[in-house]
Structure 1
Amino acid sequence: MATHAAIQMVAQRQPLQLAQVPTVEPGDGETLVKVEWVCSTPLDLHQADGGLGTTYPNIVGDSIAGKIMKLGPNVENLKVGDKVFGFGWRSQKERAAQEYATYHQNLLGKIPSGISYQEAVTVPNNFVTVFHALTKDLDLPLPWPQPEQAPERASDPILYGYTNLIGTASKAHHAELKSFDATAVFDYRDPDIVPHIIAAIKPSQTPAIPFILDCIGSKSGSIEPISKIAQAGPTVAVLLPVIVRDSTVEEVPIYDMDPKSHANWAKDVTVRGVRTHFYLQDEFFATHLQPVVMPYMLEHGIVKPNRQRVVQGETFRDRAQNALDILRRKEVSGERLVWRVPDGEE
């Protein structure tokens, strides 16, 4: 069997290692992708330092950009040579940090013309997470194709949401959020952020903010402050895991999967944990979200790539380790860490 190079987590908080793994031939509906770029995410750190949902050895990463090299039977909308991007996680053959990955066609979209690999690879993880959280956990309709009429409650206040968007970020990112038509933006480092948000809403309805999406999931940094805002019946969706104690160079992390238990919520607040990896349970999303909706929205500017920070390193393994170390040291904000898989010049 043919093999290729991959970067593996081999034990909790241990250095990443280069290994040779089988190159899996594409089966029914599958493709073999030559991986060009990888995007590192906080989940990489959760798995490497906290062992979250991980059996070692585990290949790093879940978002790729690359080129189709081979097709299995019954692949309908992709061809050899297509440049693609996607989010995969279900088995080692779909993991990102390897020279070749075997993906089902429904987990890949064609990269639109004018979008580079390093731009495209920042999109899939975020894109799938947001669509799944809004539809599954906040019960908001996101019909496709986009209807002529706005969906019900499109103007309701929401922390990250429809047309009445209230955002929280460090001041360095306020201008960017406002460029996305945020109604109001607040500094999450402000010790008085809770009364400032409440004062700005000037509620004319109950609940004042009916939908809240917590993209951080930090017990002290986001969940506890949100619990003071979430009054009179809203729905709160929290990206899992709950970070009880974050990973640092000195300390191992502590995680939990129950956001309801980590704050004094009002009794009428609905709190749900977002489990992005279950998005395929939605029949429409399973066949359309990544191959159809994602590339269309990127091509038409409805979504845009994150700002990228290209992680350098002499070797494939060095780049993967450097990206993980940057996440551990908390040296990244408002940008995605991206890095090339092949060694040498592009």
Structure 2
Amino acid sequence: MATHPAVVTTAPRAPLSIRHVPTVVCAADEVRVRVDWTATTPFDLHQADGGLVVTHGVLGSSYAGVVIELGVDVRDLSIGSKVFGFGFRGQQEHAFQLFVTVPMYLCGEIPSTIAPSAAVTIPDSFATAVHSVTAALHIPLPWPVPGHPPANADTLILIWGAASSAGTVTLQVLVHWGYRNVLATASPHHHVRLRELGAAAVFDYRDTDCVEQILETARMGRSEAPSIPLVLDCIGSVTGSIRPIARLTEAGTRVAVLLPVVIRAPSTDELPEYAMEVAGKAVFAEGVSVEGVRTHAYLENGELKARMQSEMMPALMAVGAVGPLSSTVVEGASLLERAERALAIMRDGISRQRLVWQVSGEGE
């Protein structure tokens, strides 16, 4: 069997390595993609440093590249199509390797106006946003998007960590579907951008009275309870987000927390510590619903499985409803060096931008 190089992790905090893995031939409904670009995400760091939900092997999830092989049942793509997507279920779908072989519903065609290096910033965050909104917050996102606002367009929705990749895409998704009262927390230098994207109000999560500010704004001119019905926590930090959120919730509030729960974040000095359950991490009022979100579970929704990456994601990017995230290109003389540098930058907390890097050395 033919093989190709892949970046793998062998043990928590161990140096990454290059391994030659099998090049998987397409099944009937699959495509093989030469990976030109990928993005290193916090989840990659959680896996590399903390061994989170991983059998050590090929890392990576978001990819952008060129179709080089088609299964016999694939109709909407061609050899040479530029595609992007989010793969996560096994070695052949992981992105830190020269080729991925994925079912056609795990990729979409890159709009002609968007460079592959920009497109690769989106897939995992888009999947997280749509799945969190529909499955955990129970907000319907009918497709195609209706030409009128939803009946509950004025519902208050709080995104904690809205400048994160998942938070930014979630804001864009909610605004595009017509939700008008999305509140956000972020560092001050992100506030102008989040308002431009449609946030009704933005708060500095580091302010000692941030919770009080949010509640004051939420209650302004309103008598309904709870003051904030829906909260999405895009940070998942016990001290940095879950406990402050618990203070602003009331009976009837629904809270969705992106997993894993971070008890201690990865750093150059300490091993990380995680949990996969939110229960017990903060004291919530009686009647508050709290749910941890596992993005990979979106495939349980048959409609989203069929359409989210192949149809919705490219269409929303083509019309500018969801835009590429701010990114930094990580350079390096080799595939391994680029992968190691990206993880090191994330571990040091230097960059809040998407860290993108070339895999094949081709394609732009």
Alignment-derived partner of residue 10 in structure 2: 10
> Which structure 2 segments of 5+ residues have no match?
160-173
> CA offsets per residue over residues 113-143 of structure 1, 9 Å max, x none?
1100111001100101000000000100100
Deviation, structure 1 residue 342: 2.3
What are the equivalent positions in structure 2 for 1:159-238 lying under 5 Å apart?
159-160=158-159, 161=174, 162-201=179-218, 202=220, 203-238=222-257
Q: Which amino acid aligns with 1:276?
A: T
2-side partners of 1:344 and 1:281: how far apart?
Answer: 35
* Contact preservation (8 Å) 2:109, 2:314: yes
SS at match of 1:145: coil
Aligned partner of 1:336 among 354, 357, 363:
354
- TM-score under structure 2 length normalisation: 0.92
* Contact preservation (8 Å) 2:34, 2:360: no
Alignment-derived partner of residue 28 in structure 2: 28
SS at match of 2:244: helix
Deviation, structure 1 residue 345: 8.8
* Contact preservation (8 Å) 2:116, 2:363: no
SS at match of 2:279: helix
Deviation, structure 1 residue 148: 2.6
Q: Which amino acid aligns with 1:72?
A: G
> CA offsets per residue over residues 195-253 of structure 1, 9 Å max, x none?
11111222431111111000010000000000001113110000001001111111111
Alignment-derived partner of residue 43 in structure 1: 43
Alignment-derived partner of residue 84 in structure 1: 83
**Residues 140, 344 of structure 1: alpha-carbon distance in 2 compared, 3 angstrom cutoff:** closer
2-side partners of 1:343 and 1:29: how far apart?
Answer: 27
Q: Which amino acid aligns with 1:331?
A: I
**Residues 240, 129 of structure 1: alpha-carbon distance in 2 compared, 3 angstrom cutoff:** same
Alignment-derived partner of residue 325 in structure 1: 344
2-side partners of 1:310 and 1:159: how far apart?
Answer: 31
2-side partners of 1:123 and 1:7: how far apart?
Answer: 21
* Contact preservation (8 Å) 2:36, 2:361: no
> CA offsets per residue over residues 123-173 of structure 1, 9 Å max, x none?
100101000000000100100011133223221110135321101000111
Alignment-derived partner of residue 293 in structure 2: 274
1-side partners of 2:284 and 2:25: how far apart?
Answer: 50
What are the equivalent positions in structure 2 for 1:69-80 lying under 5 Å apart?
69-80=68-79
Deviation, structure 1 residue 3: 0.8
**Which stretch has the larger CA shift, 263-272 or 151-160?**
151-160
Alignment-derived partner of residue 52 in structure 1: 52
> CA offsets per residue over residues 39-73 of structure 1, 9 Å max, x none?
111000111111111112x1111000000001112
2-side partners of 1:53 and 1:92: how far apart?
Answer: 14
Count of aligned positions: 344
Q: Which amino acid aligns with 1:321?
A: E
Q: Which amino acid aligns with 1:188?
A: Y
**Residues 55, 100 of structure 1: alpha-carbon distance in 2 compared, 3 angstrom cutoff:** same
* Contact preservation (8 Å) 1:31, 1:102: yes
> Which structure 1 segments of 5+ residues have no match?
none
The alignment's C-alpha RMSD in Å is 1.2
2-side partners of 1:147 and 1:196: how far apart?
Answer: 34
**Residues 345, 256 of structure 1: alpha-carbon distance in 2 compared, 3 angstrom cutoff:** closer
What are the equivalent positions in structure 2 for 1:240-259 lying under 5 Å apart?
240-259=259-278
2-side partners of 1:76 and 1:159: how far apart?
Answer: 40
Q: Which amino acid aligns with 1:320?
A: A
- TM-score under structure 1 length normalisation: 0.97
